[in-house]
Amino acid sequence: MENVLSILFCLTLLYLVITARLKTYVGILRAQGILLSVIIIFPFLRHLSVHILIIPLMSLIVKAVIIPRFINKIIIDLDVKRIIEPNIQPFNFLLLSVASMSVIFIMSHVLSGYTPIETIPFASAFSAIVIGLLLIIFREKLIVHVVGFLILENGIFLFGTSIAAEMPTIVELGALLDILVVVFLMGIAVNKISSTFTEQKVTVLGGLKD
Amino acid sequence: MEILIPLAILPVAGFIACYFVHNRKAQYIISLSAAVVHLACSYLIFAEIIIPAESDLFRFDALSRLFLLILSHVYFWILLVSYSYLNRPAMVKEEKSKKFFFAMLNIYLLANTLALISNHLGIFWVASEMTTLSVAPLIYYYRDKESLEAMWKYLFLVSVGIAFAFIGFLFLALSAGKTVLEGQQLLVSLFTLHAKQLNPIWLKASFIFVFVGLSTKIGIAPMHTGDIDATSNSPSPIAALMAGSLRGTALLGVLRVYQIMAPTSTAAFARSIMIIGGLVSLFAAFVFMFKVNNYKRMIAYSSVEHLGLITLGIGTGGIAFFGAMLHTVFNSLTKVVLFLNAGNIHKAYRSREIDSVWNVLQNMPWTGWLFMLGFFAVIAMPPFGIFFSELMILQGLLSRPLLLAAVLFLLFFIFVGMSRNVFRMLYSNSPNNHAAAIDDKFEITHFTSLVLLILLVILGITMPPQLHSVITQISKDFGILL
Amino acid sequence: MALRILQGLLPFLFILGLSPLLVGLINKQKALLTGRTGAPIWQPYYELIRLSRKETIYAKTASFVSRLAPVVVFSAVLIAGFMLPVGYTRPLLSFNGDIVVFAYLLGLARFFQIIGAMDIGSSFEGMGAAREATFAVFAEPIYFFTIGSLAFVSGYTSLYEIYLSIRLDNPSSLVFIIVSSISAFFLMVTECSRMPVDDPNTHLELTMIHEVMILDNSGVDLFLYQYSSYIKIMIYGIYEVLFFNPFGMQNQWLGFSLFIVLLLLLSTIVAWVETMIARLKMKNVPQYLLFATAIGILDLLIYTFVK
């Protein structure tokens, strides 16, 4: 079942690569939040208790409700143009993403031979990390950078579950809180940047250099 | 666990108090008392007068104790001067930033403390992300274009970097596959104990990810840019705090992973990575020391240089490792002196450009002389501590003559570049020949600088036995016998 | 023997007889979803009857290709239809390697439709043909990645046997069903010129793809073209629905009724999608198709490494 959900996760990534609407980005973040929350419940299904449900529930609230809403709010408040502005041909971007995903899948398959990893979740997680980075590199809008960062974080989250590294509850909650605050701060920064600079693009941030 | 009350609960209380109390003086007194208690506690822990009970999540080994003392020392002095700093006449924009200045500082102290005493790498990760978050609003203190850009870049780069470090930590968990550690928590003490069983390939991967990820925060080239922007555009107490303690906190994460690797066959790999990182940082500092025209950025590059030297020393091992640990102590104190006086110069000349600052020595005698002494300290002039620690690092390099030659070459030219800039600021004549009307009274920043400079000399010459024994203990923990 | 032939004839009759009905169903549901009453579901039959009665007129510039093309298109599509199992009986045509033949029969149909359109010599038809050819380039990999990955895993190269090899006791089959049905849906939308790639209802020549190619055909030729486009929808519908094959494997009658239900469900989904989504800009279509191709590649990756 974990595999099925990871594949769905991969599909959201592919959709993320081709889409050009900011709204879809937010929708994808929401979908990934739900998927991840469901994925982390699975190992515990046999001995379900209220205590165990805390983390999935919190991550559902943070990743699928609060963060997408916040980003949506920024998009509406700042009246950002609803279409992203890539600085690469969409076709090439898709090609790059698919190529890197292929390499990741092949590598994970090779690795799974001598380490206890589950190939599909592992590869999906790594794909998310890479695609998050690619979004940061090849998109100009700052708000898309924030989304890219969140995709990267989602990937790491899935990665953590795929290698079954259990963290204490306090660490999981702390990590969620950290991500929430990072997004919050980045949102404020984007807000300030749009009022200070003419555009909300990464190209305006070139003032500091030697 | 009682020890967490002064170390962690108190800053939380300080944060809450500062959030609700709006009187700046009251905020200052609350935060300062938290800082004093923290300093006292970390000194007592450092000197092993209090030996806290170790738990799974927190530990107080020699490394933690040393870094904790550095943190609380730097933090105390910064807090001491920040009240007078906030009371300086300023533009309207900054007034808003002053409201939460002390509150954020308390969070900063909490986050750094948790990161330094954590035994669980997950906690380290959460806490170090928290340090970034606490310092980011403080970088935006001046609320202008440059500081906004600096804050965004720092926040973004470091967040991504820390995310990479987390991948590294997860690789560490992977390396435990098929050993007794499988399924165990990521406890440094546990992993160090069974390090020899870990899978070397995953260990190497883990180290690369952690080192590259955290070097955004340490300021190791080529990931140093965000750090440079942040330190140069934030107010000088924050810059001093970042250079003095935040970089150390990130360095601790790398050291923890290295500690796990030290007894295994992969140690040589980690060491060569660190040597490369150190050399590249030295090189970057060397290049930019000649290009730079902003004196705060210049000091930030000097931080890159010194952190590079420290990683180089750790990578070299032996006596150089000892020197590197000592260097962290001295470098932190020196950076505080430099940044505080740079802040004074900035206040007087209203510019961060080297070219628009002239004749500081005559216009601002106190600041000028202290800045010059700080400069002597940072380029390792003999009576100051850095001279001795740098000497130890170089001594450790003696067995690798080529590396030694490269390092000496770079250090010499960094010295040339930096002194050219500094002396131009201190001595050059006014471009339009009018004497600047700048009053430079003896104030608390000068007092702090003076105390720290004296401390640097004393520490360097006498080498207190406690410091010596703690660093010896650290070296022993890393499997280095002196 | 007689039973086998009867069983083989069943799909023939099914595809030939019911494909206009499927289109009628889609159109009816679409009308209902947009709040109109819509034409009766038998409308496509009336259309076909009407067309078959009309006189066939050829353009002056048209050569023998124009006369040949509709027949070739119709027969190629029909033969492709024989390769798909309807209701889990063995199809009329089933041999090793028929996945390739299936693809190229449809390719042949498309080829003749394109040259038939170009033969007439009108610039509109030429434009439509160019678009059809462009999108076909992007659509073909979708098919090959989807079916190819399954052929790779199962070790069979015949559609019937591949479908039989999907089993539910293999946990990753569920993944396969999800992923493949998504990319098959994309394929269907493209090949049958439905939304969001092409709008079958539009009558603006500049934006059409399929409809513009048959603009100058009439009478029996148009009848054949229309009929083959109905059959094509049926073929791709079956192609998609069969991924859910394992659910009805145990009992033939249960399987057959499940098959019908799924086909009806598919018609609803197509209608729903066409109501909800606007037609894509022409320049965005390749991207959309590449997305489906990427899904196919993902599929292949998964199945190569996680047998």
**Is residue B82 included in any domain, yes or no?**
no
Residue of A nearest to C305 (CA): A109
Q: Is the peptide bond prior to B222 cis by the omega test (within 30 degrees of 0)?
A: yes
Which tops the pLDDT comparison, C199 or B171?
B171
Amino acid at the residue B219: G
In this structure, the number of other CB atoms found within 10 A of the CB of residue B203 comes to: 26
Mutate to test the interface with A, among C182, C306, C307 (most CBs of A within 10 A): C306
pLDDT tens per residue, chain A (210 residues)?
777 788 889 889 988 888 888 888 999 999 999 999 988 887 777 777 777 788 888 889 999 999 999 999 998 888 877 777 777 888 888 889 989 998 998 888 888 877 777 888 888 999 999 999 999 988 888 889 999 999 999 999 898 887 766 778 888 888 899 999 999 999 988 888 888 887 777 777 777 777
Residue of A nearest to B131 (CA): A178
Question: Which chains are adjacent to chain C, needing at least 3 Cβ pairs under 8 Å?
Answer: A
How many angstroms separate the CA atoms of C50 and A130, rounded? 57
Q: Which domain holds residue B408?
A: 275-482
What phi and psi values does residue A139 have, to the nearest 5 degrees? -120, 150
User: Quick check: C172 contacting A, CB < 8 Å?
Assistant: yes
pLDDT tens per residue, chain C (307 residues)?
677 777 777 778 888 888 999 999 998 998 999 888 888 889 999 989 999 898 888 888 888 888 899 999 999 999 998 888 876 677 777 888 888 999 999 999 999 999 988 888 888 888 888 888 888 888 888 888 888 887 877 788 888 888 877 776 666 667 777 778 888 888 888 888 787 777 777 666 666 777 788 888 888 899 999 899 999 999 998 888 887 766 656 667 777 788 888 889 999 999 998 888 887 777 778 878 888 888 888 877 777 666 5
Token look-up 């094509």 returns: C232
| pLDDT tens string B457-473 | 999 888 899 999 999 99
**Is residue C1 included in any domain, yes or no?**
no
Q: Do A166 and B185 touch (CB under 8 A)?
A: yes
pLDDT score of C168:
67
| pLDDT tens string B415-439 | 999 999 999 888 887 766 555 556 6
Lowest mean pLDDT among A82-96, B42-56, B69-83, B399-413: A82-96
pLDDT score of C156:
83
**Is residue B380 included in any domain, yes or no?**
yes
Mutate to test the interface with A, among C302, C304, C307 (most CBs of A within 10 A): C302
Q: Do C294 and A105 touch (CB under 8 A)?
A: no
Q: Which domain holds residue C221?
A: 8-305
Mean of per-residue pLDDT scores for chain B: 89
Amino acid at the residue C122: S
**Is residue C24 included in any domain, yes or no?**
yes
Chains A and C lie in contact, requiring 3 or more CB pairs less than 8 Å apart: yes
ipTM: 0.93
How many angstroms separate the CA atoms of C139 and C125, rounded? 20
How many angstroms separate the CA atoms of C169 and C76, rounded? 36
Q: Which of C171, C290, C305 sits opposite A105 (nearest CB)?
A: C305
DSSP annotation of B364? S
Total number of domains in chain C? 1
What phi and psi values does residue B198 have, to the nearest 5 degrees? -70, 150
**Is residue C3 included in any domain, yes or no?**
no
| pLDDT tens string B253-285 | 999 999 999 888 999 999 999 999 999 999 999
Total number of domains in chain B? 1
pLDDT score of C207:
67
Give the pLDDT band of residue B304 (cuts 50, 70, 90).
very high
Token look-up 């499940």 returns: C258
pLDDT score of C171:
62
User: Quick check: A139 contacting B, CB < 8 Å?
Assistant: no
pLDDT score of B110:
94
What angle in degrees, to the nearest 10, is found between the helix axes of B92-99 and B101-117?
50
How many residues would you count in chain B?
Answer: 482
pLDDT score of C140:
86
CA distances to C32, C243, C245 from C259, in Å: 24, 10, 8
Q: What is the dihedral of CA C222, C226, C227, C232, to 10 degrees?
A: 140
Task: Answer whether B448's CB lies under 8 Å from B80's CB.
Answer: yes
Residues in chain A within 8 Å Cβ distance of B173:
163, 165
Residue B411 has pLDDT above 80, yes or no: yes
Residues in chain C within 8 Å Cβ distance of A109:
304-306
**Is residue B145 included in any domain, yes or no?**
no
In this structure, the number of other CB atoms found within 10 A of the CB of residue B457 comes to: 17
How many residues would you count in chain C?
Answer: 307
Q: Do A167 and B186 touch (CB under 8 A)?
A: yes
Residues in chain A within 8 Å Cβ distance of B122:
167-168, 171, 175
**Is residue C32 included in any domain, yes or no?**
yes
Give the pair of three-digit tokens for residue C224.
């054949």
